[in-house]
A and B are shown apart, each in its own frame.
Chain A
């Protein structure tokens, strides 16, 4: 059971907009720690997609955006493309006794 909760799967048609939620608690997201997002294409290593809640590393298309509010965060993908089909993970820091750096369980995005 992951410290951060994500929906197991989401789907959308090409060109559509999808969002992926990431719900935490008062010891992680709600404590003010930033949320970061990773994209893992099939058979590859994770890649940083969003850092510091809403910042995109160089090379990441502006179709990807992130936001954070309270104890939750969201990743939005607009203009969905076939190559966006991947697993997406949120990550934050947890200040509880069993904390440190924590991930969501991951969300499988299917492009219909």
Chain B
């Protein structure tokens, strides 16, 4: 079963508009963490934002915010005021306790295209 599901293989957004990238997850661990990473064409994974399962408020980092709906097990990334440089792959990831340690599992990603 998929642990992290990103249902949008590709998304288009107009420059300066906001865009939401979807992510749903599945875990039985009550203490987990959710992440979003950006991967530009250069290949490096860039950390964007983190949400802990016990965090009461939605995480925000500059133009990035995480719409955390715990009951629905969703952790959508909202990018406000899109910029051309936001064009990249975006990965949702979850860290959960498995076995004796923690493991981070990534989704398949969403490719975002920002149009001028």
**A, B from the same assembly:** no
Chain A interface residues (CB < 8 Å from chain B): none
Chain B interface residues (CB < 8 Å from chain A): none
